[in-house]
Amino acid sequence: MSNNNAVAAAAFAELQETARESWERLREKPLILIGAATCGRAAGALSLLEEVKNEINRLQLDANIIEVGCMGHCYAEPVMVIYNAGFPAICYGYVKEGVGARIVRDFLTEGDPGIEFALAALEPNDLFPTFADFPRGVHENKIVLEQCGFIDPQNIDHYIATGGYAALVKALEMSPEAIIETIKSSGLRGRGGAGFPTGVKWETCRNAPGTPKYVICNADEGDPGAFMDRTILESNPHLMVEGLAIAARAVGAEQGYVYIRAEYPLAVERVTLAVQQAREKGLLGNSILGTGFNFDIEIFQGSGAFVCGEETALIASMEGKPGIPRHRPPFPAVSGLWGKPTIINNVKTLSYVPHIMKNGAEWFKSIGSEKNPGTAIFALAGKVINTGLAEVPMSTTLNELIFDVGSGIAGGKKFKAVQIGGPSGGCLPETALDTPIDFDSLTGAGAMMGSGGMVVLDEDDCMVEIARFFLDFTQKESCGKCTFCRLGTKHMLDVLERITRGQGRPGDIDLLQELAAKVKAGSLCSLGKTAPNPVLSTIKYFRDEYEAHINEGRCPSLMCKDLIAYYILPDKCERSCDACVGSCPVEAIHDNEDRIKVIDQKKCVKCDSCMVACPPQYKAVVKLSPPHLVQEKEKEYREGKKQWQKK
């Protein structure tokens, strides 16, 4: 073995040498990074890339441009970073059409860094603040996301040059038992949602009889509102590949799979390339780095079924069947893919592994809290200002995450709730904002860590509607196998639908709670067991909203379409402005005898266009709930007019 180790170390040193050379060569010239993960692309990153390339060609500048992943500042997409000698590296945000070319031109030809477009500098300097100088930077502690957005995900040399695959080499020198011991004592808990100790899972699998054994990376990120795994795989796929190889070494597997949902085509592409490059470098395949350890990875594309995030359903799907969970035990670690011992770990879980191997269990335990060591990675979305990815130590509070990292609520609106954990999680109100973010505290508060989706809701968001939305989701995604999930969620959804339509009945809240308790207790898999959480948590914290819907036919947040009507305030309407009329897709707006715009309620499809179109200085279009208030308002107007005419 020791001889093998020397061979591996020598082979790896050579790889590192080549990688470092190519990495350093990049920085010899000005270097431009463009964030082109899916989120960046949706904001126009690819045309920015084109624009910057053209500008550089036009000016015949000598600079390197690389496409990188996402560094988490999704709110400011497209994002660009420039390293220019003599200046600190600067990160630019909201780089709209024309701006990219201008920044590059000014900076590279005239030495004007264009700080009016800069978000922050990346290294301390006396010119410009860094991310660490903002409230966000105080809380952020990037481990898994560290390299995301700073290296080319399509170039394995970048990963190796920044320390990649050294942990695998270290693991190859260690005994499998020692690797498991390290992971166990680090206290790493599975980031897929339930928080099961990773080391224990590995140990069970290692000790289970039967060969071959399999390791699977679960990248079937199906929670609506979560995009951490996508970002990690698009921005730094090698981190997961390395983690999976270490897991394989620990449990004694020679074959690994990455199960990625087909809805993430870019992630599929990046991981496929990463595996191929690792194979070419001898970091995957037969006798890795000459050690005699064989391990290879195949990609399996999920076909779109949320339930496949459940381990046994994922396995069924890989075996060519519908993704239908089975009773556990036996757990997959004992009897998994093709009946063989199999471990399934989430992308984030595996991404911590190389860092723990490199820095040790003690280091990992020093971050976060005792029972929840390490960091939490959250996808911040919804009504928060700084949407994007954030990595903070476990036990950071919700308040800090939403108001410091996320900079609070957009548009000066009032915070109402935060939805955590997707369809399995719950909505927590303002009073719960001091809850520390970790597996146990969130579950205690009625939500769930889930896989890390966090959608912030403001005063315009109806809590009954959000409960209905999630139940609609789980009901559609239920595999339909077991009675409670198939029929229990269907009945619950029917009740919620009638409430949001204004047809709620007295007793509906009790019925929902009863059904929820039974579905939780009786369902076969965790999809069913957690499906009622969004309903239970909204009833717990926002019962008054349910009651307003049921008892008054009123949606307090003015969101439920059947319970609102659009109305144009006569005293605010400017009369000669036709913005709303032009925006209406169904010609429901016309002038009344006073040339004030009036909405024909029979024609109105409640598409919101007029409200958006009405110029902000008038703000004449409002929503009313219950909808019959419109008639009252119209009557008021007519009577007011009569009075005025009499005078």
Partner 1 sequence: MKLTEEEKIIAVETTQQILAGVDRQNRGQLIPVLQKVQEKLGYVPQVTMEKVANHFAVPAVDVYGVITFYNQFRLTPPGKNQVKICMGTACHMRGAHIIQEAWERRLNITVGETTRDREYSLERVACVGCCTMAPVVVINEEVHGKMTPTRVDGLLFAHQLDKQKAKEGNADNEQ
Partner 2 sequence: MAEKVTITIDGRTVSAEAGEMLLWAALDNGIYIPHLCADREDKENPAASCRLCFVEVQGRPVPVPACTLPVSEGLVINTRSERVDGLVAAAFELLMSNHKLDCKNCPANGNCELQRIAKERKLRLKPKNLPVLERNLPVDNSVAGLVYDPNKCVLCGRCVRACRRGGNAVLGFTRRGYDRVVTTFGDVPLAESGCSGCGECAGACPVGAFSVQK
Residues at the site binding partner 2, with contacts judged by CB under 8 A: 305, 322, 326-327, 475-484, 486-488, 490-491, 494, 511, 514, 518, 521-524
Residue from 55, 77, 157, 438 that binds partner 1 (CB under 8 A)? Answer: 77
H helices within 27-98, ranges in order?
A: 38-42, 45-58
Task: Tell me whether residue 629 is exposed, middle or buried, using C-beta atoms within 10 angstroms of its C-beta: 0 to 12, 13 to 18, 19 or more.
Answer: middle
Q: Among partner 1, partner 2, none, what does residue 491 contact (CB within 5–8 Å per kind)? A: partner 2
Q: Which residue type is seen at 620?
A: A
Residue from 105, 136, 230, 238 that binds partner 1 (CB under 8 A)? Answer: 230
Find the shortest distance in angstroms from Cβ 488 to partner 2.
Answer: 6
Residue from 609, 620, 625, 630 that binds partner 1 (CB under 8 A)? Answer: 609
Query: What does the alpha-carbon distance between residue 373 and residue 490 come to, in Å, rounded to a whole number?
Result: 38
Does the protein bind partner 1 through residue 43 (CB under 8 A)? yes
Q: Among partner 1, partner 2, none, what does residue 221 contact (CB within 5–8 Å per kind)? A: partner 1
Find the shortest distance in angstroms from Cβ 611 to partner 1.
Answer: 11
Q: Is residue 554 within 8 Å of 626, Cβ to Cβ? A: yes
- Residue 35 gets which letter from DSSP? E
Q: Among partner 2, partner 1, none, what does residue 585 contact (CB within 5–8 Å per kind)? A: partner 1
Find the shortest distance in angstroms from Cβ 449 to partner 2.
Answer: 21
Find the shortest distance in angstroms from Cβ 608 to partner 1.
Answer: 5
Task: Compute how many other C-beta atoms are within 10 angstroms of the C-beta atom of residue 29.
Answer: 15
Residue from 265, 339, 507, 640 that binds partner 1 (CB under 8 A)? Answer: 265
Tell me whether residue 329 or residue 585 sits nearer to partner 1 (CB atom): 585
Residues 419-458 that bind partner 1 (CB under 8 A): 419, 422, 453, 455, 457
Task: Compute how many other C-beta atoms are within 10 angstroms of the C-beta atom of residue 506.
Answer: 9
Q: Among partner 1, partner 2, none, what does residue 265 contact (CB within 5–8 Å per kind)? A: partner 1
Tell me whether residue 136 or residue 189 sits nearer to partner 1 (CB atom): 136
Stretch that binds partner 1, among 161-169, 540-548, 580-588, 622-630 (CB under 8 A): 580-588
Tell me whether residue 157 or residue 223 sits nearer to partner 1 (CB atom): 223
Residue from 608, 632, 636, 639 that binds partner 1 (CB under 8 A)? Answer: 608
Chain position carrying tokens 């076909």: 303
Which two three-digit tokens encode residue 625?
């709930």
Find the shortest distance in angstroms from Cβ 149 to partner 2.
Answer: 38
Does the protein bind partner 1 through residue 469 (CB under 8 A)? yes
Query: What does the alpha-carbon distance between residue 535 and residue 551 come to, in Å, rounded to a whole number?
Result: 18
In DSSP notation, 354-409 reads HHHHHH-HHHHHTSB-SSSBSEEEEEEEESBSS-EEEEEETT-BHHIIIIIIS-SB
Which two three-digit tokens encode residue 134?
């903002």
Query: Three-state DSSP class for 227?
Result: coil
Q: Is residue 256 within 8 Å of 244, Cβ to Cβ? A: yes
Helix axes 166-173, 237-251, angle to 10 degrees: 10
Q: What is Dmax (Cα atoms) for the chain?
A: 106
Does the protein bind partner 1 through residue 466 (CB under 8 A)? yes
Query: What does the alpha-carbon distance between residue 462 and residue 557 come to, in Å, rounded to a whole number?
Result: 5
Does the protein bind partner 1 through residue 605 (CB under 8 A)? yes
Tell me whether residue 322 or residue 330 sits nearer to partner 1 (CB atom): 322
Stretch that binds partner 1, among 24-32, 326-334, 382-390, 593-601 (CB under 8 A): 382-390
Query: What does the alpha-carbon distance between residue 592 and residue 168 come to, in Å, rounded to a whole number?
Result: 75
Which stretch of DSSP H or E encloses residue 589? strand 589-591
Find the shortest distance in angstroms from Cβ 615 to partner 1.
Answer: 15
β-sheet bridge partners, residue 584: none
Tell me whether residue 11 or residue 527 sits nearer to partner 1 (CB atom): 527
**HSE-up of 459 (CA within 13 Å, CB side)?**
5
Does the protein bind partner 1 through residue 225 (CB under 8 A)? yes
What does DSSP say about strands 597-599 and 589-591: parallel, antiparallel, or unpaired? antiparallel
Find the shortest distance in angstroms from Cβ 470 to partner 1.
Answer: 8
Query: What does the alpha-carbon distance between residue 184 and residue 432 come to, in Å, rounded to a whole number?
Result: 32
Q: Is residue 383 within 8 Å of 376, Cβ to Cβ? A: no
Q: How far from each other are the two terminal CA atoms of the chain, in whole angstroms?
A: 104
Does the protein bind partner 1 through residue 500 (CB under 8 A)? no
Residues 145-174 that bind partner 1 (CB under 8 A): none
Tell me whether residue 353 or residue 527 sits nearer to partner 2 (CB atom): 527
Going across the sheet that includes 375-382, the strands are 388-393, 375-382, 453-458, 415-420, 426-429
Stretch that binds partner 1, among 40-48, 133-141, 271-279, 632-640 (CB under 8 A): 40-48
Reduced DSSP (H G I as helix, E B as strand, rest coil) percent helix, strand, coil of the chain, to 5? 50, 15, 35
Does the protein bind partner 1 through residue 301 (CB under 8 A)? yes
Q: Among partner 1, partner 2, none, what does residue 524 contact (CB within 5–8 Å per kind)? A: partner 2
- Residue 210 gets which letter from DSSP? -
Tell me whether residue 37 or residue 525 sits nearer to partner 2 (CB atom): 525
Find the shortest distance in angstroms from Cβ 590 to partner 2.
Answer: 42
Find the shortest distance in angstroms from Cβ 522 to partner 2.
Answer: 5
Nearest 5°: the CA angle 428, 433, 435 is 90
Does the protein bind partner 1 through residue 612 (CB under 8 A)? yes
Find the shortest distance in angstroms from Cβ 509 to partner 2.
Answer: 13
Query: What does the alpha-carbon distance between residue 230 and residue 220 come to, in Å, rounded to a whole number?
Result: 9
Stretch that binds partner 1, among 57-65, 171-179, 279-287, 606-614 (CB under 8 A): 606-614
Residues 6+ apart with CB under 8 A from 264: 38, 219, 221, 230, 233, 234
Residue from 262, 511, 517, 521 that binds partner 1 (CB under 8 A)? Answer: 262
Tell me whether residue 6 or residue 511 sits nearer to partner 2 (CB atom): 511
Find the shortest distance in angstroms from Cβ 323 to partner 2.
Answer: 9
Chain position carrying tokens 């087909």: 262
Query: What does the alpha-carbon distance between residue 35 and residue 49 come to, in Å, rounded to a whole number?
Result: 9
Find the shortest distance in angstroms from Cβ 521 to partner 2.
Answer: 6
Stretch that binds partner 1, among 17-25, 127-135, 281-289, 600-608 (CB under 8 A): 600-608
Residue from 305, 343, 604, 620 that binds partner 1 (CB under 8 A)? Answer: 305
Give the closest residue to 215 by CA, choosing from 315, 359, 308. Answer: 315
Site of interaction with partner 1 (CB under 8 A): 38-39, 41-43, 74-75, 77, 221-227, 230-231, 262-265, 300-301, 303-306, 317-324, 338, 379, 381-383, 387-388, 419, 422, 453, 455, 457, 461, 466, 469-470, 473, 477, 479, 561, 583, 585-586, 605, 607-609, 612
